[in-house]
A = this chain, B = another copy of it.
Amino acid sequence: MSERPSSFETVCWRDGAVVMLDQRLLPEIERYNTYEDAHGVAHAIRTMVIRGAPAIGVAAALGVALAATRTSGDARAVARAANDACDLLAATRPTAVNLFWALDRMRRRLSSSTSNDAVALRQALLAEALAIREEDIAMCRRMGSHGAALVPDGATILTHCNAGGLATAGHGTALGVVRSAVEQGKRVRVLADETRPLLQGARLTAWELARDGIPVTVIVDGAAASHLARGEIDMVVVGADRVAANGDFANKIGTLGVALAAAAHGVPFYVAAPWSTVDLATPDGAAIPIEERAADEVTHIHGRRVTPEGVPVRNPAFDVTPARLVTALITDRGLAQPPNAETIGRLAEGATP
């Protein structure tokens, strides 16, 4: 088993600034943007320079560290800047729970600091954000190794959206399972839903798997059910933006349809998500707020109109899949198989079932 380093950097700290791979330009252009303040980071999250629940959490934490390190003055000024950055960043995307989890950690670090030393406080906040980033990669690797055990050699794996290295600080959640299976020497191929409206499957999943030499084929979202019905798919694995206490989960719009089609054809359906995505305060899927994004994501593709002028659209960014359609929830703490209040409760207590 060999751990392959990631061949790209999704979000990192470099020369006192936050650097992100601009995912809106992939696969055509690989451009890294540098952000010098928290407003820039918030705008990048809102406009989806970076996306994916874990990556958003890491970016937000680094955004808070950025606000702190760029603030001169005393510890109170640094704390105020960091707090303001938390408020600003919390308002970027409503569905991904990792965002709030990461910001809570930054706030806790902030309030636990009793030092009046501005330098020490800046360092502590940067260290916390960098720790969140490192832990994210480590979590993906643990999740990957738990999930890889579920992947048969020779499997064709369907995935939706991008729950990959690009959606995390590295390795990926759903694609982390794929990468870990490959590292174990298993031969796999991936079928990637293109994932309208923003085409994260066609653009991002295809790009990062091809880059790592893992065979990937793209299909339109509507084709998934047909490939499942034809027996061409051995398992489905997707990420999650929020997992409720009962195992219901929110993920990119289109996930529910894939889950229903997988269940109808007896194909195992897995959700790979770091424990930070599990929100025990959310009892079930009905309680998850669903972000409705701008109409032009649907009405225009590459700046050109595809719907008639004046015709309205609906654009929910996520849907909710009930736990009963999920074979297992794969987390860095282990599996909840099947996911329900009891199996998730056991993971919450730290035990690996």
Contacts and interface: CB of A to CB of B under 8 A. Distances in A.
Contacts of A264: 260, 264
Q: Which of A221, A298, A304 has the most chain B CB atoms closer than 10 A to its own CB?
A: A221
Given A225-B319, A301-B301, A210 B260 contact: no
A350 interface: no
A46 to B, nearest CB: 20
A218 interface: yes
Chain A interface size band reads 35 or more
Contacts of A310: 210
14 contacts: A196-B196, A196-B221, A203-B307, A221-B222, A221-B254, A222-B254, A222-B257, A225-B257, A229-B256, A229-B319, A257-B260, A257-B261, A260-B261, A301-B301
B197 A220 contact: yes
A277 B309 CA distance: 33
Interface string A186-224: 000001011111010011001100100000111111111
Contact of A311 (B216, B225, B306): B216
Contact of A220 (B191, B196, B225, B256): B196
Nearest to A161: B222
A210 B316 CA distance: 22
Nearest to A314: B219
A226 B253 contact: yes
Contacts of A255: 222
Given A210-B310, A307-B206, A308-B207, A222 B253 contact: yes
A312 to B, nearest CB: 5
Contacts of A311: 206, 210, 216-218
Contacts of A107: none
Given A218-B313, A261-B260, A314-B223, A229 B302 contact: no
A27 interface: yes
B210 A222 contact: no
A39 interface: no
Contact of A195 (B191, B193, B207, B222): B222
